[in-house]
Chains A and B, each alone.
Chain A
Amino acid sequence: MEFKRIVVTGMGALTPLGNTVDEYWSGLIHGVPGAAPITLFDASKFRTRFACEVKNFDPTQFLDKKEARKVDRFTQFALVASDQAVSDAGLTRENINPDRIGVVLGSGIGGLITFQNEVVDFAKGDGTPRFNPFFIPKMILDIAAGQISMRHNFRGPNYAVVSACASSTNAMIDAINLIRLGKADIIVTGGSEAVISEAGVGGFNAMKAMSERNDDPATASRPYDKDRDGFVMGEGAGVLIFEELEHAKKRGAKIYCEVIGGGATADAHHITAPHPDGLGAKNVMTEALKDAGIQPADVDYINTHGTSTPLGDIAETKAIIEVFGDHAYELNISSTKSMTGHCLGAAGVIEAIACIKSVVHNMVPPTINHFTDDPELDPRLNFTFNKAQERPVNIALSNTFGFGGHNACVIVKKYS
């Protein structure tokens, strides 16, 4: 059976670098750091007091006041990013068959802020339950996919995917497979995350997973630097329109690139620590290459998971060298988390957008904040430190890994 081919025909993004795909990409290639002191809550007693927030976001600019109030911040992000993507792809109620369009969206945690606020409110009372009737439908992680379907009347497959920080990559892989198998013509896919809150920051702080460089937030996310001290929390959403190639051609859609495959594996090792040799990471890249039907030497750019944690960055680098051999020194590697921070469940799609733009513009965004080489990393690798690099980019690969040992990877290719 010949699988159907998939292309990207629309993009939308809300990121710590800007609230459109173009602003985001401009931030990336100019090496703009997205981190700053936390404004979303009073973090003065927290070990980490900075994050990569989405800036100047007023949901009532996009949603009516009543609608905005009934959805969590992560759903507000998803709705705004999907509006952008749907409009970018030129989808209207008149030119599509709604039964053939699905929504598959990832999030790592879902409505944590709603959950936190409702439970805190309950705890302040005398034990009488006075939960808001919108508490559960605001909080549940699948609601973003549901809300998008209602807003645009998309009646195809509709669900959420959860694999912590790999969530939106796993969502994209499901989208690929649904279209390949002919279950839908279009899948609106990607993910959203918004957990910069007492519970989110406090929880990750307790794991000692986050950078505590409070005196210099802008340089705190420094993947592959010797003095990296953990990830910087980000938030945001990315939404892509994955469309079956013939369907896209027939309606004369603009095509950004082809999505040629993906892979998913598990470390089966530890709840939070990566496998020390990057075993799951190695397997997932191998799987993705096989799924895409390409050789390691075909890859020009890898957007790494590269969260700026001491162990994670090393394990992934080892895996790259094992999978790509000598070609590992020919391709470009970068961690755009150095600029966006770690957008958790939305990281996969936000970084896939960086890969797509890279393929479109033949430009590799940098890994900023590099000051000191880490002797544990192979100096022959090109980490695209500090400045974007122009080069032909035909194929780009995006890695994401999540707590629980989930690994997921997608590959995009210049469309021809």
Chain B
Amino acid sequence: MSDIASRVKKIIVDKLGVDEAEVTNEASFTNDLGADSLDTVELIMEFEKEFNISIPDEQAETITTVGQAVSYLEEHAK
């Protein structure tokens, strides 16, 4: 697992209170990990903080699974 992937997964485990094993690449924040709309917004903010970037709203809306978050951040993280 890349460094970025492990940091992303750590944030998800912490914020959504889920087991690490559940945080697979395919897992959807809302359908599989119990996030509601506010949780999802908070996750994006935490990614922004952790990787010191700004994720535009229209991009944020396309990040709905763990894998999507990891690949977006691998591409954009400074």
Interface residues of A (CB under 8 A from B): 64-66, 128, 130, 132-134, 137
Contacts and interface: CB of A to CB of B under 8 A. Distances in A.
Contacts of B16: 66
Nearest to B45: A130
A16 to B, nearest CB: 30
A397 B31 CA distance: 53
Instruction: Specify the main secondary structure of chain B where it touches its partner.
Output: helix
B35 to A, nearest CB: 10
A134 B17 contact: no
B41 interface: yes
Nearest to A128: B54
Interface in B1-35: 15-17
Contacts of A132: 42, 45
A133 B48 CA distance: 14
5 contacts: A66-B15, A130-B49, A133-B38, A133-B42, A134-B42
Given A130-B49, A134-B42, 17 more contacts: A64-B17, A65-B17, A66-B15, A66-B16, A66-B17, A128-B54, A130-B45, A130-B48, A132-B42, A132-B45, A133-B38, A133-B39, A133-B41, A133-B42, A133-B45, A134-B38, A137-B38
Query: Which 4 A-B pairs give the minimum distances between C-beta atoms?
Result: A66-B17, A133-B41, A133-B38, A133-B42
Contacts of A137: 38
Contacts of B45: 130, 132-133
Nearest to B43: A133
A296 to B, nearest CB: 52
B76 to A, nearest CB: 17
Contacts of A64: 17
Contacts of A66: 15-17
Interface string B44-72: 01001100001000000000000000000
Size class of the contact patch on chain B: 10 to 19
Contacts of A133: 38-39, 41-42, 45
A64 B15 CA distance: 12
A128 B48 CA distance: 12
A24 B12 CA distance: 39
Nearest to A68: B17
A133 B54 CA distance: 16
Nearest to B39: A133
Contacts of A128: 54
Contacts of A65: 17
Nearest to A66: B17
A130 B17 CA distance: 22
Nearest to B15: A66
A128 B17 CA distance: 28
Contacts of B15: 66
Contacts of A130: 45, 48-49
Contacts of B49: 130
Contacts of B42: 132-134
Contacts of A134: 38, 42
B51 to A, nearest CB: 14
Residue of A66, A133, A134 with most chain B CB atoms under a 10 A cut-off: A133
A132 B46 CA distance: 9
B52 to A, nearest CB: 12
Residue of A65, A128, A132 with most chain B CB atoms under a 10 A cut-off: A132
A181 B30 CA distance: 43
Contacts of B39: 133
